[in-house]
Amino acid sequence: MISTLKKFFMFCSTEDRNKIYKAIGLGVINALFAAMRIGAIGVVAMGIIDNNMSMKNVWYSLLILIISLSAQVILNMKITMLHTEAGYHCSTGKRLEIAEHLRYLPMGYFNDTSLGHITSVTTNTMESLAGVAARIVMLTTQNILTTIVLTICVLIFDVRIGLILILGIGIYAVINSLMQKKASLSVPRKQASDNEMIAAILEFIQGIVEVKNYNLTKSRAKKLDEAIRAKQFADTHLEYDVIPYITLQDITTKLIGVVMCAASVYFYVNGTMSLLYCIMMMISSFMIYESLDAMSGYSALIRIVDVSVTLANEILDIPGMDINGEEITPANHDIELKNITFAYENRNIINGIDLKIPEKTTTAIVGPSGVGKTTLTSLMSRFWDVNGGQVLLGGRDVKDYSFDSLMKNFSFVFQRVYLFQDTIANNIRFGRPDASMEEVIAAAKKACCHDFIQQLPDGYDTVIGEGGASLSGGEKQRISIARAIMKDSPIIILDEATANVDPENEAELTEAVKELTKEKTIIMIAHRLKTVEHADQIVVIDEGKIAQRGTHSELMQQQGIYRTFVEDRQKAASWKL
């Protein structure tokens, strides 16, 4: 338990840790004020025993109780505020830290990791730390401190009763340790079921169109139902696993009180303890019971704090790319690849590619599916780091750049466009958040999306659904291009940007791409002949290597993948029913 509390403290920021330490300090003072109640009762008991009871004794006792209770109320309020502030601030800070860390992780991490796991850690786990964990830590530390202070007080009054109390606390600690070990087996299963349930919910919601289209509602709902029931099973069995230990703890705390009372009476009868001390020890036993009983109710959940901190640290400990380069403005925007290699999950994808892309030229990358075309552009923009060789921008290794200064040079338009649940204007401003409304409209006009935006209920202030669900594919693509125009980077990477556009949108989208790519360095991945045939150079990738390179006319004179690719497209285009 102590190690888990220490782990939580170290997980918090320095500011939050100081708040917790301050709360602990106040907790010690609070425990001392709680112990004053023994003195208040002692004053009354002394007057009764000495047969000298007077209103003076009553007023002294009442004054002590008022001071004790008033101080405890004030201190408890301050302690609760400090723990709550630390808990929520820690959760917020770690969410931001995880988000910032994810920003600089290699893209391969997101292909290899469940979206449900990331979502669960940043929502459920952090929420547990903010609310539940802060309360658990507060109550546990407070009751530990109260128990320590009361034990010291008992030892001062009577060593024999103090030793009985220490023995009882030792038995309680052993039971608690066994419970923590048992919970250590169940809590990871609970966390895993949380992740699986969120992943199942996300999959069901995101794929609802396909589910209905293929009449898979029952089977997919069954999978979701199984995930929810698995979480119910894990939550329930966590409780079942710890209930016997909580019961033993409860019995132990009661027995501690009973044995302390019995021993006190025995020592009084034998004449080795005064009646006053006997009464005070009996009162102390009830206070000890109150403290231990409150702690046992939450100590089973302390394991959740441990696992939550571990899950968050697992993400934060994933090695990120070295982003601490220089703020570099390249002399030019030539891109050069020098014998680069790249492997993912022990599978070679890029096998020694040399390529030069002069600035303000168009390079088309073609080839069969799965040969590394997208990976190649990702290595150019440092979404991944190469395993071998160098990627140069303006004659400097991309690793020399800070990540932010490198990204200023690139804009991307992907086949799959993601728009945020925000206004259309803000989605376009994503390329430059400080842009004025006039600049937003100018970018939209260049991207050929001004007209359809004007027809929406609130124009540029229309809030679109998450992912752009309320817009067509072509409309989303044009907003994505407007976003790239707004960023105005010198290098544009187009990854199948027009692959799935309907004929009605194709002309406008082509015009938007032309506007975007004026006087830019263009790197495009495409399968459409008319998209690539006017490129300054066409690079054919096969099995992670450059199989062919040249202009359209040069490659058409060679036997190879490109000529076959063009001839197959021409045959498909001329085929009629």
Domain range summary for the chain, segments of one domain joined by +: 2-316, 323-409+522-577
pLDDT at position 35 over 60: yes
The CATH homologous superfamily to which domain 2-316 belongs is: ABC transporter type 1, transmembrane domain (1.20.1560.10)
Q: List C-alpha distances in Å: 163 to 157, 252, 254.
A: 12, 15, 17
Residue 503 pLDDT grade (very low, low, confident, very high; cuts 50, 70, 90): low
Q: What is the pLDDT of residues 219-267, one digit of tens each?
A: 667 777 878 888 888 778 777 777 888 888 888 888 888 898 899 899 9
Distance (Å, whole) CA 86 – CA 19 = 6
pLDDT at position 576 over 60: no
Q: What is the pLDDT of residues 419-476, one digit of tens each?
A: 788 888 888 888 788 888 888 888 888 888 888 888 888 888 888 765 556 677 778 8
Averaged pLDDT, 400-414: 84
- CA-based nearest residue to 443, from 467, 462, 427, 457: 427
The predicted structure's pLDDT at residue 327: 87
CA dihedral 404, 407, 409, 410 (to 10 degrees): -170
Distance (Å, whole) CA 438 – CA 254 = 74
The predicted structure's pLDDT at residue 109: 65
Q: Which of 174-178, 339-343, 502-506 has the lowest mean pLDDT?
A: 502-506
One of 2.60.40.10, 3.40.50.300, 3.40.50.1980, 3.30.1280.10 is the CATH number of 323-409+522-577, namely 3.40.50.300
Assessment of whether the complete model's pTM goes beyond 0.75: no
**What's the mean per-residue pLDDT of the chain?**
79
Averaged pLDDT, 404-419: 81
Q: What is the percentage of the chain residues whose pLDDT exceeds 90?
A: 3
The predicted structure's pLDDT at residue 385: 85
Residue 338 pLDDT grade (very low, low, confident, very high; cuts 50, 70, 90): very high
Q: Are 478 and 511 spatial neighbours (Cβ–Cβ below 8 Å)?
A: no
